[in-house]
Structure 1
């Protein structure tokens, strides 16, 4: 298990600073409040598991932390950047430079090879060594022999390993993972999690892991529980076992 890091105090200077965060969407029945005033601080190097029932706002929170959605109210600061003050181009550059994202459904480009998929963020950054680094990243996740394969030619576990290589290749400060084993069988999912936590430890990456699995959340040093769009518990993992 990763070393425990106690929850950061509200008002701190963490890598992630969320204040009074709200997210509301319109529906035929009226407004739906998905997040209802979340305040959260995460320090550099922490691994935080975010748990809660379906509909509690876990994935919405992740989308807001990655600048993929905009809050209705409140603020989100990541790596010193106020995401609410940035336009779409600036948000794209922010994600390129600071954030890696692993989704449940892999989100690989089907017309690109594994090597090309991993090289994408480096190419966007103008890195001349994009493909050299992509090949090294795929070697690290055990897919050096699959460089020229397309997603449809890979198993689910292999596709998620490509997605993890892509998330880590630019050495981001923050990794967001949303149910990364949700589409995998238990054995494959366990192997993917071991790989992800190993890479996180190697790079010192801050991890926010969205999961329904309490055992997986307990791999993190801290668990944040959501219910009905609010934080209902925020505790170090070891405190639970006391």
Structure 2
């Protein structure tokens, strides 16, 4: 089995705006290997989040090729993409995207139920325990702090044991202590499940803890370096 989990070749992305077509990504070529932790950094508007969304098939590239686990995402329709993500990917958004009418346990169990997992709630409870929220399983998002909600979102993303975990500014809305805790959890997911982790961040400290750091400027790869030991 190849060690390359994500492979992008000459990927472009353009979006129509009020001022006309805007080039978001300009010929990105990039490989990410199994169990690697990769940080995407760069100024606001540089294309970091768009690149992450293209990796997850949540945005379709205008040209180029995006392979995930050897599968061509551009060749899949929306249903096939959804099934692929459900089986192989976990996505963590800065704004959590928890379902407000569901408890923490129900939020984490939902992707497992959709996948037909018979022990969905047992696995969901175990993931909540792993992120230190076993006692909050019956609470709704409105009853939890921002840091707790982000941990629920992490548990939901990790519960299906994804091969690839994509995180968009996972600590952006959190204070220093909660941000550090969430980073520890992200790295722990890699250790526990062997997932490949790609994250977008403005935090140099967070980026430095990853195996590799890639900087984007104006939709192009600018600097690629190994994170400091």
Structure 2 length as normaliser, TM-score? Answer: 0.97
SS of 1:191 mapped into structure 2: helix
2:3–2:34 Cα contact (<8 Å) kept: no
Distance 1:182 1:191 in 2: 13
Query: What is aligned with 1:3?
Result: none
In the alignment, is residue 187 of structure 1 matched against residue 209 of structure 2?
A: no
Note the 1:70-89 alignment, pairs <5 A: 70-89=60-79
**1:106-157: CA deviations, max 9, x gaps?**
1101111101110111111111111110011101111111111110011111
Query: What is aligned with 1:31?
Result: 21
Distance 1:50 1:21 in 2: 16
2:38–2:197 Cα contact (<8 Å) kept: yes
SS of 2:80 mapped into structure 1: helix
Shift of 1:199: 2.1
Note the 1:118-157 alignment, pairs <5 A: 118-157=108-147
| Root-mean-square deviation (Å) | 1.2
Moved over 6 A (4+): none
Number of residue pairs matched by the alignment = 228
5+ unaligned residues in a row in structure 1: which ranges?
1-11
Query: What is aligned with 1:42?
Result: 32
5+ unaligned residues in a row in structure 2: which ranges?
none
Shift of 1:196: 1.6
Shift of 1:13: 6.0
